[in-house]
Chain A
Amino acid sequence: MIRSGTLILHVAARLLMPLQLLFSVFLLLRGHDEPGGGFIAGLVASGAFALYLFAFGPRATRQMLRVAPQDLIGLGLCLGVISALPAWWQGQPFLTAQWWTIPWIDFKFSTPLIFDIGVYLVVLGSVLIAVLALMEGDSEEASHD
């Protein structure tokens, strides 16, 4: 059985997790030009949550997550489909990329970015579903025994 709750793990998880999440967002946003992107960023974020899960257990992780991993997947799929809509509106082929520059902060906003965020959420949700279900299955069995 996995025992959650050694002191070192607790402290490390608390310190590392925000950094990992921040890093995942960094990877996500820079992914279009430098190594990174939604898939990798999603994996990094899953790693962050997995670390937290090992340290504090499934219940605490779910509480911190607030939304169910299934909903993350659903949201991700929705974003993927939504990113296809602007092109449709313009009468262009399905999923043609659209780019807008937001002038004041010189930030390029685009449908591929929305799409990538969708990928990020789907990856994160899928890994979390598996990890959480495995972990919770363990603790259920433990409580039965």
Chain B
Amino acid sequence: MQLAVLGGFVLAAFAPLLHRWFGERTGWVLALLPGALLLWLLGQLPAVVAGEILVFEQAWVPGLEITLTFLLDGLSLLFALLISGIGVLVLIYASGYLKGHPDLVRFHVVILAFMMSMLGLVLADNLVSLFVFWELTSITSYLLIGFNHTDLEARKSALQGLFVTVGGGLALLAGLILLALAGDSWSLQDLNDRGELLRGHDLYLPILLCLLAGAFTKSAQFPFHFWLPNAMAAPTPVSAYLHSATMVKAGVYLLARLSPALGGTPAWEAWLCLIGALTMLTGAFLALRHTNIKKLLAYSTVMALGTLTLLLGIGSEEAMVAFATFLLAHSLYKGVLFMVAGILDHETGTKDIALMGGLRRVMPITALCAAVAALSLGGVIPLFGFVAKELLFAAAWEGGWRGVLLPATLIAAILTLAAAAIVGIRPFYRARRELPRSPQEGPGTMLLGPLVLAGLSLLLGLWPGAAEALVAATASSLRGETVTASLTLWHGINGPLLLSLVSLALGLLLFRHWDGWRAALRPLDPLIERGPEAAYFRLMNTLVEVAEWQTRLLQNGYMRNYLVMMLLVLVGLTGVTLFARHELHLAVALDVQLHEALVVGLMVAGAVMACVLRARLAAVASVGVMGFCIALTFVLFSAPDLGITQLLVETLTVILLILVLFRLPRFARLSSPLERVRDLVVAAATGGLITLLILQVVSVDPFPSISDYMVANSQPLGHGHNIVNVILVDFRALDTLGEMFVLALAAIGVFAMLRFHAGEYAERDRQARGEVVDD
């Protein structure tokens, strides 16, 4: 299992090579991986349905309790099936949608990486690996939204999506760490067994709020819903896959996954129901304002995500069954609708529904798929969406807060039905209109996905019993106990059915007067524009301003200011710790040899001369005297390696200084006497502090020294007599490896600084800022 997911990342890396071999058909080849996964997952279905939890153990960083263990229960399986199943169809669909696109290779690399991250996310048992996969989906989503990177709008939307989801990701990280501390385990399985402990824990509320922040940003809940419609700048296969079926459901997945551990408390219920209902209504309401088909569908996805959150908040057995059913139904019909939107866009050259009409004759198959999916979205009998909506009504009916939640659900259902009618009917019926391109039926690759998914919607609608076992298994993992579900199309005449009829009638009425409704809502536009998105832009602009201000303050490009700043921080932090936390022991036995005193005297002379001299070369030479004296000190105290290094570094410094000296302007005194006094004080304070520190270290010995260990083990363990070298390349090799990277980065920095001129940077800076500022 781990092999398949990690292998997927490797396959993503090799996608460019596959492109060279298979050309246009690469999508089909790549689809083999999720296809195989899908078959394998289907093979596990009987065991999972029987109530087994399949665990695939794999260590990762045992020292930190980080594992790559995968867990397959009902919830994971449902998500994994959707990810791999829709993944296959989207890969094939994209090979038609992006046919001949110069960046198709990049698309394949990133979408495959996303697919594997998403699978890892829903399968991971360990909190840390879950978080890693979570962030990977954010990053790949960023790359996919910004796929058309020459388009400013796309870049801006990509950045927005990234900021919102990664900002939430930080809160999530905090929440997961708190959760692990409170539950004393990093394993989701263990945590779900310790629900009592966690719900009663002092940290329960902070944990919940942090996790909610992460989940709500990821799943585009109110007030973070705005990034999702903007993410529609991505190519349509991406919208269909990431921003409808999979990634945006990650937040909901997390809440669902943790609901046995954290769910059922009043705080949980209040937050999830409130935010879920608000999101549901916001999404359903805003959807009808848009004639851009993708935006309309995106808002309708926001509505669905709100509904899922709401159901988790209600938390009853019915609600959990409704959750699983609604999740499945939504993925099936929304996938179709996005793919249909892509076909329409691809064939007509516009995304504006108001411009389309009468396309039924030229694209009959698309029209059929759209009709089936729209009926399912609207929750019309006999489609699977109807089953889901009935369950939703029933859950809202039975759950607490009925007085609020039931009307909210009803209103959302009415608005959704109108949206469904708009998408399913408007482009295909009525009179033909002038379009930018003359439309034809989409190619087979693009029709396969909608046909399969629409077929499933219909099949499961007519025979809901087929999904019953999976839904029951999912609901069981949500409740942490065995739940039975019975899905039927016809429940007899009852409350939910009546509500369905009401929503059908009112929704159709709304659809008839859609144009009038949009016109009537136009006065509200200024209010909507002042919504959460405006707050986002204000925040980003403030961030840029603060960054500018603090850059001017701290990073002003003057070496002397950097030095003063660093030294003051050092003196401040170290000094306070030294004086406040420790007693000073300054019992020093002065035992200085004559030659040592000479070396020190030479060093002091060099330092003073370097400050006083007015000729630059002479000052450099004085600093050099100091350096060589230090090297001499190392040699005197038998540290030949350090001595050699110091000597070589001094030599190279001279070489570099000679090269730099020619570039400097004529020597001038730039600082006033007062500033020099200030610098003297800072320097004296630093020097004094370091002296005190060394004396302290020499006289007190708070920890046993590690050097004895190094001396004793250098030969037996490190096979070397040179302890310094053994430490560098063996005992502390990881540190050295890090320093190698630092050195390499510094070299690249120097190279960039010398090669590119300041003017180019200013230009690039302006461009980069253009992405954040809304203008």
Q: For the complex, would chain A's binding face be called helix, strand, loop or mixed by DSSP majority?
A: helix
Query: A40: shortest Cβ distance to chain B, in Å?
Result: 5
- Count of B residues near A, CB < 8 Å? 42
Q: Which of B723-740 contact A (CB under 8 A)?
A: 724-726, 728-730, 733-734, 736-737, 740
Interface string of A74-94 (1 = CB under 8 A from B): 001100110110000000011
Q: Is A17 an interface residue (CB 8 A)?
A: no
Query: A86: shortest Cβ distance to chain B, in Å?
Result: 13
The answer to whether A35 touches B754 (Cβ under 8 A) is: no
What CA separation (Å) do A84 and B754 show in the bound complex?
34
Query: B342: shortest Cβ distance to chain A, in Å?
Result: 41
The answer to whether B751 touches A133 (Cβ under 8 A) is: yes
The answer to whether A36 touches B656 (Cβ under 8 A) is: no
Q: Which of A128-145 contact B (CB under 8 A)?
A: 129-131, 133-135, 137-138
Q: Is B651 an interface residue (CB 8 A)?
A: yes
The answer to whether A112 touches B729 (Cβ under 8 A) is: yes
Query: B744: shortest Cβ distance to chain A, in Å?
Result: 5
Residue with the highest number of chain A CB atoms closer than 10 Å, among B658, B660, B720, B747: B747
The answer to whether B655 touches A131 (Cβ under 8 A) is: yes
Q: Which of A26-85 contact B (CB under 8 A)?
A: 31-40, 43-44, 46-47, 50, 54, 69-70, 73, 76-77, 80-81, 83-84
What CA separation (Å) do A34 and B722 show in the bound complex?
5
What CA separation (Å) do A113 and B611 show in the bound complex?
43
Given A32-B720, A43-B648, A80:B737 Cβ within 8 A: yes
The answer to whether B734 touches A33 (Cβ under 8 A) is: no
Q: Is A9 an interface residue (CB 8 A)?
A: no
What CA separation (Å) do A122 and B736 show in the bound complex?
11
Point out the residues of chain B lying under 8 angstroms from A39, CB to CB.
645, 728
Q: Is B721 an interface residue (CB 8 A)?
A: yes
Interface string of A91-133 (1 = CB under 8 A from B): 0011101010000000010101101101100110111011101
Point out the residues of chain B lying under 8 angstroms from A115, CB to CB.
729, 733, 736-737
Point out the residues of chain A lying under 8 angstroms from B641, CB to CB.
35-37, 40
Query: A48: shortest Cβ distance to chain B, in Å?
Result: 11
Q: Is B400 an interface residue (CB 8 A)?
A: no
Which of B649, B659, B722, B747 is A33 in contact with, Cβ under 8 Å?
B722
Point out the residues of chain B lying under 8 angstroms from A69, CB to CB.
747
Q: Which of B746-775 contact A (CB under 8 A)?
A: 746-748, 750-751, 754-755
Complex: chain B residue closest to A79, CB-CB: B740
Q: Is B617 an interface residue (CB 8 A)?
A: no
What CA separation (Å) do A70 and B724 show in the bound complex?
28
Complex: chain A residue closest to B721, CB-CB: A33
Given A35-B722, A36-B725, A46-B652, A129:B737 Cβ within 8 A: no
Query: B5: shortest Cβ distance to chain A, in Å?
Result: 19
What CA separation (Å) do A113 and B741 show in the bound complex?
18
Given A77-B744, A126-B747, A133-B750, A31:B725 Cβ within 8 A: yes
The answer to whether B655 touches A43 (Cβ under 8 A) is: no
Point out the residues of chain B lying under 8 angstroms from A129, CB to CB.
747-748, 750-751
Point out the residues of chain B lying under 8 angstroms from A70, CB to CB.
748, 751
Q: Is B223 an interface residue (CB 8 A)?
A: no
The answer to whether A94 touches B734 (Cβ under 8 A) is: yes
The answer to whether B648 touches A81 (Cβ under 8 A) is: no
Q: Is A1 an interface residue (CB 8 A)?
A: yes
The answer to whether A119 touches B750 (Cβ under 8 A) is: no
Point out the residues of chain A lying under 8 angstroms from B604, CB to CB.
none
The answer to whether A116 touches B729 (Cβ under 8 A) is: yes
Point out the residues of chain A lying under 8 angstroms from B656, CB to CB.
130-131, 134
What CA separation (Å) do A17 and B645 show in the bound complex?
19
Point out the residues of chain B lying under 8 angstroms from A32, CB to CB.
718-722, 725-726, 729
Complex: chain A residue closest to B643, CB-CB: A35
The answer to whether B733 touches A95 (Cβ under 8 A) is: yes
What CA separation (Å) do A33 and B726 show in the bound complex?
9
Query: B207: shortest Cβ distance to chain A, in Å?
Result: 32
Given A43-B648, A122-B740, A135:B659 Cβ within 8 A: yes
Query: B180: shortest Cβ distance to chain A, in Å?
Result: 23
- Count of A residues near B, CB < 8 Å? 53
Q: Is B195 an interface residue (CB 8 A)?
A: no
Which of B651, B726, B740 is A47 in contact with, Cβ under 8 Å?
B651
Point out the residues of chain B lying under 8 angstroms from A2, CB to CB.
658-659, 662
Complex: chain B residue closest to A112, CB-CB: B729
Q: Which of B538-584 contact A (CB under 8 A)?
A: none
Point out the residues of chain A lying under 8 angstroms from B744, CB to CB.
73, 76-77, 122, 125-126
What CA separation (Å) do A76 and B736 show in the bound complex?
12
What CA separation (Å) do A89 and B726 show in the bound complex?
22
The answer to whether A43 touches B645 (Cβ under 8 A) is: yes
What CA separation (Å) do A122 and B741 show in the bound complex?
9
Q: Is B640 an interface residue (CB 8 A)?
A: yes
Q: For the complex, would chain B's binding face be called helix, strand, loop or mixed by DSSP majority?
A: helix
Point out the residues of chain A lying under 8 angstroms from B4, CB to CB.
none
Query: A55: shortest Cβ distance to chain B, in Å?
Result: 13
The answer to whether A138 touches B740 (Cβ under 8 A) is: no
Query: A79: shortest Cβ distance to chain B, in Å?
Result: 9
Complex: chain A residue closest to B729, CB-CB: A112
Point out the residues of chain A lying under 8 angstroms from B748, CB to CB.
70, 129
Which of A37, A122, A125, A137 is B729 in contact with, Cβ under 8 Å?
A37
What CA separation (Å) do A94 and B744 show in the bound complex?
21
Query: A4: shortest Cβ distance to chain B, in Å?
Result: 12
What CA separation (Å) do A131 and B652 show in the bound complex?
9
What CA separation (Å) do A125 and B660 show in the bound complex?
19
Given A32-B726, A35-B722, A130:B733 Cβ within 8 A: no
Point out the residues of chain A lying under 8 angstroms from B741, CB to CB.
77
The answer to whether A125 touches B726 (Cβ under 8 A) is: no
Q: Is B42 an interface residue (CB 8 A)?
A: no
Which of B63, B649, B663, B724 is A37 in contact with, Cβ under 8 Å?
B724
Query: A2: shortest Cβ distance to chain B, in Å?
Result: 7
Query: B760: shortest Cβ distance to chain A, in Å?
Result: 15
The answer to whether A76 touches B747 (Cβ under 8 A) is: no
The answer to whether B659 touches A131 (Cβ under 8 A) is: yes
What CA separation (Å) do A131 and B747 show in the bound complex?
10
What CA separation (Å) do A35 and B722 show in the bound complex?
6
Complex: chain B residue closest to A51, CB-CB: B655
The answer to whether A37 touches B648 (Cβ under 8 A) is: no
Residue with the highest number of chain A CB atoms closer than 10 Å, among B641, B722, B737: B737
Point out the residues of chain A lying under 8 angstroms from B63, CB to CB.
93
Given A40-B648, A95-B733, A138-B662, A126:B746 Cβ within 8 A: yes
Complex: chain A residue closest to B719, CB-CB: A99
Point out the residues of chain A lying under 8 angstroms from B32, CB to CB.
none
Query: A18: shortest Cβ distance to chain B, in Å?
Result: 18
Q: Is B743 an interface residue (CB 8 A)?
A: yes
Given A32-B726, A126-B746, A81:B721 Cβ within 8 A: no
What CA separation (Å) do A119 and B730 show in the bound complex?
12
Which of A1, A40, A112 is B730 in contact with, Cβ under 8 Å?
A112
- Can you sample 15 A-B contacts with CB below 8 Å? A32-B729, A33-B720, A34-B721, A35-B640, A47-B652, A77-B740, A80-B740, A93-B63, A112-B733, A115-B729, A115-B737, A116-B729, A119-B736, A126-B743, A130-B656
In order of increasing CB-CB distance, the 3 nearest A-B pairs are A126-B747, A32-B720, A43-B648
B: which residues have CB within 8 A of A?
63, 640-641, 644-645, 648-649, 651-652, 655-656, 658-660, 662-663, 718-722, 724-726, 728-730, 733-734, 736-737, 740-741, 743-744, 746-748, 750-751, 754-755
Task: Given contacts A37-B725, A80-B740, A137-B663, list 15 more A-B pairs with CB under 8 A.
Answer: A32-B721, A32-B726, A33-B722, A35-B644, A35-B722, A40-B644, A43-B648, A50-B652, A50-B655, A77-B740, A95-B737, A119-B736, A119-B740, A125-B744, A126-B744
